Amino acid sequence: MMEFHKTILTLVLFFIRFSLLIGATSNTKHYIVYVGHHSHPNSEAVIRANHEILASVVGSVEKAQALSLHHYSKSFQGFSAKLTPEQAQLLAENEAVVSVFVSKMKKLDTTHSWDFLAIDSVNQYNHLSMDSKSNIIVGVIDGGVWPESKSFSDKGLGPVPKRFKGECVTGENFTLADCNSCRKIIGARFYYKGFEAEFGALESFGKPFFRSARDSDGHGSHTASTIGGSVVDNVSYFGIAKGTARGGAPSARLAIYKACWFDLCSDADILAALDDVIHDGVDVVSLSLGPDPPQPIYFEDSISVGTFHAFQKGIFVSASAGNSGLPSTASNVAPWIFTVAASTVDREFPTNVYLGNSRVLKGSSINPLKMDGFFSLIDGSAAAAKGIPSENASFCNNNTLDSNLIKGKIVVCTLEAVTDSRREKGLFVQQGGGVGMILIDPVLKDVGFQFVIPATLIGQEAAIELQDYIKTSKNPTAKIGRTKTILHTKPAPEVAAFSSAGPNIISPDIIKPDITGPGVNILAAWSPVAVESTGGRSVDFNIISGTSMSCPHASAIAAIIKSYRPSWSPAAIKSAIMTTATVLDNTKRLIGRDPNGIQATPFDHGSGHINPVAAIDPGLIYDFNSRDIIDFLCSTGASPSQLKNLTGHIIYCQNPPIPSYNFNYPSIGVSSLNGSLSLYRTVTYHGNGSTVYVPCVDSPTGVNVVVYPTKLKFTNAGEKKTFKVKLTPMASSNGSFVFGALTWSNGIHNVRSPIALNVV
């Protein structure tokens, strides 16, 4: 009888415990179970261990597998699952578990790059009157604008600044009401004659366009709204990157100069636009465009020539460095242009691949499409059309795949060249009947592309696992997930793999690019008729990448500084941004470069990653004017006729010329250091009261660097001091540049200049 009662008691206790463990489904919440550091050999082993921990409170491994949602299995161990509070408490009591907590929803910001740059912490700018902030005019030379976008609302803005001389040029679907009645878009012009002269009539392209300043490509609206877009709440790309969209300087006025058609821009049209820009009286001009490498010499390049004139008139010029991704390909490298590279922010868009063997491969894209269920996998090389070699078919180009073999399947494709159109591959797979695409892309695997079908990019490590699964499984299957949005990722920033790099092939003593800024997966306004890059979907906001996206970030920060420091020259603004840039990421390590995270150099990121909070109050600036530029060009061998092409009148150089390395640039470069050399720089003090700056030198490898004097004492704002930097090479750098830095500090401000030396 006693044994019977023990059995009954045991059963009662079991059912009580079981009810506590299982609980009512309505009482469950999403919990994160953090286990901490692990020593398991691989992710699969971690997932097994996670299931065993969860099984201890839900009754079986099978139930654990069903309840678990995420597994953290690489850098640390943990998982998330839908649990009752009682189950969560039992897990928290498990000796293997560090902590258990509810997964809460966080508010997301869409133009997240501005949060990453802490733009709202620029107190001096925030405390300026609206009149001061809205007095700044930014000219955008690009592909036009979609004026109806909420990003171009003029709510809260006063009258157009009287000094603006621009106009609203009407055209197809663009009337006076599209700008003259709007106090945000205060001018609009368009240029097409140069384009048509080179490529024929716009109509011959067979693509949507407007013979006006109206944007049909999306690019122009995107760049303009990144600079000065008004605040727009509750924006996303089909739920991806949901939050608030805004420009960096939302009170700035925008003048639109459409000089690009179908992503192409004629030099003649660009120069015409620059001519109008200077006339109209803008403060900042932004050019997210440039020549293919190699960069033409300044005297034969429309952008260099036109922007020199803009510089002479006190206009700050920001331009993209290019998307070639290789050394010596940086464009827009004239010293009077602010050249901007592209880098990541702390936000990622994972689009993962779920394999039939329960493995998950990390991928990346912008995929709003839901894939219902699993589909068969096939490698493009195994689906070659008749007469096509298997290797050619693996690239998934047009007419290379057998539609009978890929119909209803997910196709695995590879790149033939980095310049391949990734979107086209998805289109060709769709045309053959494929339902999805996995593109092996080790270079741009973190860049969010959009496709007509569910698709994602994976890196080499994931590709090896994927191809092994296809080879060893009788019926390999997979599902491509919808894109998720993850904030506060690390490390960030990293220089983008596609961002063009130095050295400067025109003026190797000038380090280019000058700076790097957010240029990967940036969401901003878009033209709803531009569907080619959005997978055929009409959208008002779009996510794209490129130095075209980083350039307007720099333009916006220049506008902020100009509104706070209206008397500053373009060179002073450039110096403020460059000397306050950071070279550390959010892990406090030196910034790396995608795709492998190798340490970046000044030829990747210039002076570092843009830091608007520090840039508005830099302490010291390196200033120069157009006469200094002429002296610099003379030092590089410019002839009187070349200088005339640039300036419009005959100029004779000093004899001997001032050495190019003495040009008062905010960075220090010597492309041919042969023996000891002394160079000079002059800084201007911008501060209150007396102060003392002392130098700190990070000497390049094999070079001794000494700075004279050892202190710079300032009493009043506006004072200038000249210092000498003596470079003594100890060994050759074997044809490669070596890097260091010089930082002047007064305990409050750190004014940093990168150093790049080629010791011969």
CA pair distance 76, 45, nearest whole angstrom: 12
Strand, coil or helix: 120:
helix
Other Cβ atoms within 10 Å of 416 Cβ, number: 14
Could you tell me the two tokens for 164? 């603006």
* Widest Cα–Cα separation across the chain: 117
- Look at residues 602, 603, 549 and name the one whose alpha carbon lies nearest to residue 323: 549
- Listed in order, strand segments (DSSP E) in 300-355 are 316-320, 338-343, 347-348, 353-355
- Look at residues 201, 199, 187 and name the one whose alpha carbon lies nearest to residue 145: 187
Alpha-carbon separation of residue 155 from 57, 151, 464, 470, 564 (angstroms): 56, 10, 53, 56, 22
Amino acid code (one letter) for 462: A
CA pair distance 263, 286, nearest whole angstrom: 16
What residues does 33 pair with on adjacent strands? 79, 100
Contact 90, 581 (CB under 8 A): no
- Where would I find the H helices in 565-681? 570-579, 602-605, 612-615, 626-635, 640-647
Alpha-carbon separation of residue 255 from 47, 73, 286 (angstroms): 55, 50, 10
Contact 246, 114 (CB under 8 A): yes
Catalytic residues: 142, 219, 548
> What does DSSP assign to residue 214?
B
Could you tell me the two tokens for 685? 């003090």
Contact 556, 226 (CB under 8 A): yes
Q: Cβ neighbours of residue 96 under 8 Å, at least 6 residues apart?
A: 35, 53
Strand, coil or helix: 645:
helix
